[in-house]
Amino acid sequence: MSLTDKYNRPIKDLRISVTDRCNFRCSYCMPAEIYGESYKFLPKEKILTFEEITRLTKIFAELGVTRIRITGGEPLLRKDLSILINQLTSIKNISDISLTTNGFLLEKSVEELVKSGLKRVTVSLDTLDQKIFNQINGRNLKISKILSGIESASNAGLSPIKINCVIKKNINENSILSLIDHFKNTKNIIRYIEYMDVGNVNKWDLSEVVSSKKILEIIKTKYSVKPLSASFKGEVANRYSIVSENGIYKGEIGIISSVTNPFCSNCTRSRLTTDGKLVTCLFSNSGLDLKKELRKGSSNDFIKSLIKDYWSKRTDRYSELRSKKNVSKNKKIEMYQLGG
Ligand code: SAM
Ligand code: SF4
Ligand code: SF4
């Protein structure tokens, strides 16, 4: 029998954070003023090894997980990532391995990642305006590097590529249309994401959120769109095609209403933090320490029973409760530790 939680949600996805380090300092995730030069990230011995990640993933796969997403921090900063991907591809029941990256190091690594078994990539890109880009990610980096990364990923066979764009009020609303202008003739999928109250360091405030309704209104000032049906059960984005004069453009749009129209009832995602904790909600403040079990010699069967017990007791529905209770001020794990 498949493993389900208290609301009958199966465990289907595992997001694995392979590093807590990042070469960006996005203000909504890892603000530069907090994560300065002297900030102490996890030491090597506290980070799961590839062997430990693979061993745990096998156990998750036996419990129902079929989709893996590699994330971070910035996952491409983890040395020899293609070795891990290769190990994960050989696990029975795993049908999909994807990666979420800021794209800066993608160009030089994508071919090897694809050879190792990477199936899909999501690249985060919040704007095409160089000034705003630097302002958001707190570093003086060139957008052209991300665009070449996207192109290399396409050439390496990862098309369509999802482009994640977090919209923050008075920061990058202008990017909504310019991203469509840029990508509408490619097969890529632009996904606009409402700014979320993950973690505490970003000092999130509801007034900074641009709702999916507003995002769609902005899109419609220039483009006609046609709703598309969900491509699988539990898909979090509302999908649209973009109407052109002679039909539709190749590109697609997705809007993710994490704040204004939450989707907890379909949430099948589990997360493994860099230091080996199983976390069952993006807004959790704690997790189940699996690294401890691995390192004290617990058997796979025992670890499996712990995961089973943890998931079967899961009652997470933070986003549905956000507006009802004042939960956003709770202490939470930070986004870069969880991977999104
Ligand atoms: N560094 C990689 C990247 O940026 O793609 C992977 C990790 S990042 C934490 C994963 C995703 O979370 C990115 O698409 C990022 O834009 C998104 N994200 C981070 N903080 C967010 C927030 N407060 N609200 C919404 N999305 C957020
Ligand atoms: Fe780094 Fe991704 Fe967080 Fe930006 S969103 S600081 S790129 S982990
Ligand atoms: Fe899933 Fe938690 Fe997000 Fe709800 S709030 S969709 S339970 S991660």
Nearest ligand to residue 335 Cα: 1
Q: Is the residue at 144 inside a domain?
A: yes
Least confident of 6-10, 254-258, 282-286, 330-334: 330-334
Q: Is the residue at 173 inside a domain?
A: yes
* Residue 124 CB–ligand 1 contact under 6 Å: yes
Number of domain units in the chain? 1
pLDDT in the model for residue 274: 97
Contact 256, 194 (CB under 8 A): yes
Q: Is the residue at 5 inside a domain?
A: no
Q: Is the residue at 192 inside a domain?
A: yes
pLDDT in the model for residue 325: 66
The CATH number of the domain holding residue 264 is: 3.20.20.70
Host domain of residue 34: 13-338
In angstroms, what is the span from residue 297 Cα to ligand 1's centroid? 34
Contact 192, 165 (CB under 8 A): yes
pLDDT in the model for residue 116: 97
d(CA 124, CA 336): 13
Q: With a cut of 70, say whether residue 204 has pLDDT above it.
A: yes
pLDDT digits (tens, 9 = 90+) for 164-175: 999 999 999 999
pLDDT digits (tens, 9 = 90+) for 92-126: 999 999 999 999 999 999 999 999 999 999 999 99
Contact partners, residue 55, CB within 8 Å, separation at least 6: 294, 300
Q: Is the residue at 6 inside a domain?
A: no
* Residue 318 CB–ligand 1 contact under 6 Å: no
pTM over 0.95: yes
Helices (H) and strands (E) in the chain, counts: 11, 12
Number of residues in the chain = 340
Amino acid at 110: V
Q: Is the residue at 180 inside a domain?
A: yes
Which atom in ligand 3 lies closest to the alpha carbon of residue 319?
A: 5
Q: With a cut of 90, say whether residue 130 has pLDDT above it.
A: yes
Q: Is the residue at 79 inside a domain?
A: yes
Nearest ligand to residue 163 Cα: 1
DSSP state of 189: E
Query: Probe ligand 3: pick from 264, 280, 321, 322, max atoms within 8 Å of CB?
Result: 264
Q: Is the residue at 19 inside a domain?
A: yes
Query: Probe ligand 2: pick from 17, 19, 20, 24, max atoms within 8 Å of CB?
Result: 24
* Residue 29 CB–ligand 2 contact under 6 Å: yes
Contact partners, residue 331, CB within 8 Å, separation at least 6: 200, 285
Which atom in ligand 1 lies closest to the alpha carbon of residue 22?
A: 1
